[in-house]
Amino acid sequence: AAGVIQSPRHLIKEKRETATLKCYPIPRHDTVYWYQQGPGQDPQFLISFYEKMQSDKGSIPDRFSAQQFSDYHSELNMSSLELGDSALYFCASSFRGRGTEAFFGQGTRLTVV
Amino acid sequence: SQQGEEDPQALSIQEGENATMNCSYKTSINNLQWYRQNSGRGLVHLILIRSNEREKHSGRLRVTLDTSKKSSSLLITASRAADTASYFCTGGSEKLVFGKGTKLTVNP
């Protein structure tokens, strides 16, 4: 069965650079979530989209933005990267209309040097 | 917030023993989900229990839900070393906010 696909799996950027993370949800899922997990930390909710509209917002820095496209894939854009942005970034998708479980991708490991 | 708060934060048991983890949440939920995360890996969905259910089984997993107490428990029976991981719960469907999780260590 198709799962949530995230790309790239690993990314190394320098401070003040920009990074774009991509997420391809499970087909027919209508909701996408983004999370940030620092070393030894629990996953922090960043933002979610339902039917391509922003649904909820968590602790997402102003330097970050995200959107969901017409094909339901989503991108997380991070600008002016800081060392503290080094983390695992997860995307998850679900079919909210049916109240089903959310499935996570394998994550993108971002390292800012 | 629909954040799940897991208890205990760390649990160490021997292989073959049962492990019980608890979760409390703050607001009304439509369902509650449990996830497992191996170190540095993605979260794996374990089980979903709906608000009108009290108990659910899946293999060696047993989940209970008490909506009056806003709490849930996850029981892993006959634990294995491969069950070593962090376990998280979360409720609702809009934010899926996670707590600190329970770090389970199963010693061979």
pLDDT over 60 (residue B1): no
- Which of A32, A10, A37 lies closest to A91, judged by CA? A32
- CB contact under 8 Å between B101 and A42, yes or no, is yes
- CB contact under 8 Å between A42 and B31, yes or no, is no
How many angstroms separate the CA atoms of B71 and A13, rounded?
A: 42
The mean pLDDT value of chain A amounts to 93
pLDDT over 90 (residue B42): no
Q: For residues A25 and A32, is the Cβ–Cβ distance under 8 A?
A: yes
What pLDDT sits at residue B2?
Answer: 47
Chain B: residue nearest A104 by CA? B43
Q: Which whole-number Å values give the CA distances from A73 to A32, A50, A101, B35, B59, in the listed order?
A: 8, 12, 18, 23, 33
Least confidently predicted of A20-24, A92-96, B94-98: B94-98
- For B:42-81, CB contacts with A below 8 A are 42-45, 48, 50
* Residue A73 DSSP SS3: coil
The mean pLDDT value of chain B amounts to 89
- Which of A91, A7, A93 lies closest to A43, judged by CA? A91
- CB contact under 8 Å between B94 and A94, yes or no, is no
- Which of A111, A98, A94, A102 lies closest to A39, judged by CA? A111
Q: For residues B23 and B89, is the Cβ–Cβ distance under 8 A?
A: yes
How many angstroms separate the CA atoms of A77 and B89, rounded?
A: 28
If pLDDT is split at 50, 70 and 90, which confidence band does B28 have?
Answer: confident
If pLDDT is split at 50, 70 and 90, which confidence band does A98 have?
Answer: low
* Residue B39 DSSP SS3: coil
pLDDT over 80 (residue B99): no
User: What is the per-residue pLDDT across A20-71, written as a single tens digit (0 to 9) for each?
Assistant: 999 999 998 989 999 999 988 889 999 999 999 999 899 899 999 999 999 9
* Residue A83 DSSP SS3: helix
If pLDDT is split at 50, 70 and 90, which confidence band does A101 have?
Answer: confident
Provide, rounded to the nearest whole percent, the portion of chain A with pLDDT above 70.
Answer: 96
**Closest approach of chain B CAs to the CA of A20, in angstroms?**
19
Least confidently predicted of A47-51, A100-104, B78-82, B101-105: A100-104
One-character DSSP codes across A18-66: -EEEEEEPPTT--EEEEEEE-TT-PPEEEEEEETTEEEEE-S--TTEEE
